[in-house]
Amino acid sequence: MLDKVKAWLNDHLTGSTEHHDLQHLAPVKVLAGQHLTDTRLIVLDLETTGLNVNKDEVIAIGAVAIDRLEIPLDDQFDLILKRPELDIRETVLIHGIGPEALTRGHETEDALIHLLEWVNGDPILAFHANFDQRFLEKALKQRLGYTAPHAWLDVAEMLPALFPQARPNSRSLDGWTDHFHLEVSERHHAAADALATAELALICLHYCLKQGISTLCELDKKLRYQRQLNAMRRG
């Protein structure tokens, strides 16, 4: 399926950014009364040249949609950016993206515009969302001058808040996928990590419904409360 998505992107990422008007992008959606069973969410994962947002850069974007509590296999986003000038020696063994791949990648501006078009303003989920949010917002601002604040939810925060009795081997993505006995085809590949995160998010969303949490704003309120509780315990 990912091969089909890549083929689609190759067919569509051929224009110049001047053919795309950022003013006509869908407005971002806030975390409001959208029912979990009737909303589209974006689960995103980035590969970067390192962990320092001040000096490192995005080199690959993987994302899948959750639409009405399902993961449509034809609603995914997976590409490597064309960034041959970047030094990836310190991280190539982790993500496996080498110089040749960065030479053949998609033009960054075009890729980011098409990502925004595909996201369609929907809320974004990620595992340790602050990392992906900071890197993506930096790239969008520097490359496109785009600064609209998308709504984000952190799956790494969601899991322990909803399953406080769970004892995974670690609070990492691997730890949680092992805890729920999920099969992960590949790790440290943006699209595969996004899919694994989406499967964990689905577990959370279905559990929310069982607990009477039925809208995005109720879920956000639950996470905010848990965040405050954790801060009080640390204090």
User: What domains, with CATH codes, occur in the chain?
Assistant: 2-13+22-156+167-234 (3.30.420.10)
Q: What is the pLDDT of residue 190?
A: 86
Start-to-end Cα distance in the chain: 48
Kindly list the distances between the CA atom of residue 161 and the CA atoms of 18, 75, 85, 146, 230, in Å, as whole numbers in the listed order: 44, 28, 41, 32, 10
Q: What is the pLDDT of residue 5?
A: 46
Report d(CA 63, CA 50) in Å as an integer. Answer: 19
Per-residue pLDDT of the chain (235 residues; tens, 9 = 90+): 445 445 544 544 444 444 456 888 999 999 999 999 999 999 999 999 889 999 999 999 999 999 999 999 889 999 989 887 877 766 654 666 766 777 788 899 999 999 999 999 999 999 999 999 999 999 999 999 999 999 999 999 999 999 999 999 889 999 999 999 998 776 667 889 999 999 999 999 999 999 999 999 999 999 999 999 888 888 7
Give 44: exposed, middle or buried? Use CB within 10 Å, 0-12, 13-18, 19+: buried
Q: What is the pLDDT of residue 86?
A: 75
Kindly list the distances between the CA atom of residue 48 and the CA atoms of 31, 67, 122, 195, in Å, as whole numbers in the listed order: 27, 27, 23, 18
Q: How far is CA 223 from the centre of its chain?
A: 18
